[in-house]
Structure 1
Amino acid sequence: MLRPAVTGCSTSTIGQAHPAGGELPNAAAGRDYAACTDGNCEVLVTKTVDLSAGGRGDLDTLSITHIGRGGVDYELKGAHGGGSGNLTTGRVSTFYEGGGGSGDVPQPEAQTSVLAVRPTGASAVGAVAQPVSGPPGPPPESLVPHIPGFGG
């Protein structure tokens, strides 16, 4: 899956002014984005951050572009396109070649060539991003779309 190594962080802070009582959520690795180089981490995001997907899930980059109390906005870039959307706090979103989804599951699961991300503890000034990924390779058979009449 994603091997979220930080490829670069912008200098613009997402929450320029910290609102009164706006506490930052806790993350296991704090702001140490190098902890994501193996594709599995829990980091605090307070400004735009680009995490390298290393081709996992058919993606090159996961960018956190905005933080709000309900979750984080993201952009995906890959060899075959990309997309954008919102990752909702407490929900696990998965991305893989040709697809993706979101659901209420307790923890993201590491699967080959799948990036799973769960934002937790979002506030107006920061959010905890928890990407989880397995090794690169073809996605699990259950995620491969089957075309009737072609091999099964």
Structure 2
Amino acid sequence: MAATTARGLRTAGVALAALIALTAAAGCGSDSDTPAKASSRPGERPTKVDSPQQPEPRPSVSAADGRDITACADGNCEIVVSEPVKIPFKGPRGPATLSVTEVGLNAIAYTVKSGNGRSTGSASGPGQGCITVLRSNGSGNSCGGLGAAGRPSPQPDAVVIQAAAGEDGTAVFQFVSDR
């Protein structure tokens, strides 16, 4: 019986040593959430891999003029934005500027200035946006659900601007003039 007990203790000791070795190996490392890069050399400790930078938001829809704000100079363009930006364009009474003040997930806010006139628009929520009509004698806004609205129609002596907030942190602006 003593031989059986000694053999059992030896087996338990080997098992305990293996368990301690596995626990120590699993517990090695840092508290960082940064993943470790495996080493190709035996016995070398893994090195940290830098976390990838967050990519710039990409629109879920494409815009005819991409991100090129200069395409709007004549009052006709379709662009996508992902951050505040100023977009100069030719309005009914001369130079005008649309200043995007906020772009976020399903959110957009902007101000249009032309001469002494000023118009603001903002919308938030899925499928939301605004339409601004800029005329030589004033402007008007309408914000809310855009549904399946396509490109706005040109109006005489006006620039029509449609802003659609995207669920991906971008917004699509369509400028349409009768020129």
Tell me the TM-score normalised to structure 1 length. 0.59
The structure-2 alpha-carbon separation of the partners of 1:30 and 1:53, relative to structure 1 and needing over 3 Å to count, comes to closer
RMSD after superposition: 3.0
The residue number in structure 2 matching 1:41 is: 77
Alignment of 1:43-122 (within 5 A): 43-56=79-92, 60-86=96-122, 89=128, 91-96=130-135, 97-102=137-142, 106-120=150-164, 122=166
Rg (Cα) greater in structure: 2
- Equivalent position of 2:176 in the other structure: 132
Unaligned 5+ segments in structure 2 are 1-53
Q: Give the match's secondary structure for 2:151.
A: coil
SS in 2 for 1:34: helix
Q: Which has the higher contact order (CA 8 A, sep 6+)?
A: 1
- Structure 2: how far apart are the matches of 1:123 and 1:42? 18
State the alpha-carbon separation in 1 of the partners of residues 106 and 95 from structure 2. Answer: 24
Deviation track 1:114-137 (CA, whole Å, cap 9, x = no partner) reads 1212223613521111111223xx
CA distance in structure 2 between the aligned counterparts of 1:85 and 1:101, rounded to whole angstroms: 7
Q: Larger % of helix: which?
A: 2
Aligned length: 117
1:24 aligns with 2:63: no
| Deviation at residue 87 of structure 1 after TM alignment | 5.3
